[in-house]
Chains A and B, each alone.
Chain A
Amino acid sequence: EVQLVESGGGLVQPGGSLRLSCSASGLTFSSHAMHWVRVRQAPGKGLEHVSTISSTGGSTDYADSVKGRFTISRDNSKNTLYLQMNSLRPDDTAVYYCVTDVDTAMVFDHWGQGTLVTVSS
């Protein structure tokens, strides 16, 4: 059974930083792309694909809303995915999910339980 467990969320002031981690088990981690998806609670703000990283870590991409502020990375020796979030803004407040697409590329078939990031003074 695939398990994805996020950690590292919390309350941070605007302009601050956080590093999210996602520990994966039940899959050959180094064979799969990984993603971060967030859901913001504000009206009209649903799911947003924040970032993606290839299986080797050699290719990454970001939503325009976080480009230049967030960095995705992975350590295949530790089966762990990361999201370094800098220059955080109030509208980054969301539940962040670690996600993978085991069977079909970009079809998100496994999700973690999520970690809440709150950006507020």
Chain B
Amino acid sequence: DIVMTQSPDSLVVSLGERATINCKSSQSVLYSSSNKNYLAWYQQKPGQPPKLLIYWASTRESGVPDRFSGSGSGTDFTLTISSLQAEDVAVYYCQQYYTTRMCSFGQGTKLEIK
């Protein structure tokens, strides 16, 4: 099984500042034949279902603001919010979908405003 580990568990950032969340997988999620990283990021606001933000490690889902970006390859990935807005308060999860039938998620990172 691929274990996903996020850091930090919680993060407090001022409005307009950059927020960075890290995700590490226990084995590579880079599929060599396609050169694609099977890594996605989700945002879950209180009382709402999770929302897909990014897939293939860096492809933004339609409608997601461009202040959200994903980077990394292999086992180490980062979600960056370039200028934090009040509506970005949420829990963020990374997900690997390299294992074709059952995927796994990180434990979540809670993002709050300072």
Contact = CB atoms under 8 A, between A and B. Distances in A.
Interface of A: 37, 39, 44-49, 52, 61-63, 97, 104-109, 111-114
Interface string B19-58: 0000000000000000000101010100001111001100
Given A108-B52, A109-B61, A114-B49, A47 B105 contact: yes
Contacts of B104: 49
Contact of A44 (B93, B103, B107): B107
B52 A107 contact: yes
B100 A106 contact: yes
B4 to A, nearest CB: 10
A9 B100 CA distance: 28
Interface string B96-114: 0100111111111000000
Interface residues of B, number: 24
B102 A61 contact: yes
Contacts of A37: 50
Contacts of B52: 107-109
A97 B50 CA distance: 9
A9 to B, nearest CB: 14
Interface string B73-107: 00000000000000000010101010011111111
Interface of B: 38, 40, 42, 44, 49-52, 55-56, 61, 91, 93, 95, 97, 100-108
21 contacts: A37-B50, A46-B91, A46-B107, A46-B108, A47-B44, A47-B50, A47-B95, A48-B105, A49-B102, A52-B101, A97-B49, A104-B55, A106-B97, A106-B103, A107-B52, A108-B50, A108-B52, A108-B95, A109-B61, A112-B49, A114-B49
Contacts of A105: 97, 100
Nearest to B99: A106
Contacts of B49: 97, 111-114
Contacts of A47: 42, 44, 50, 93, 95, 105, 108
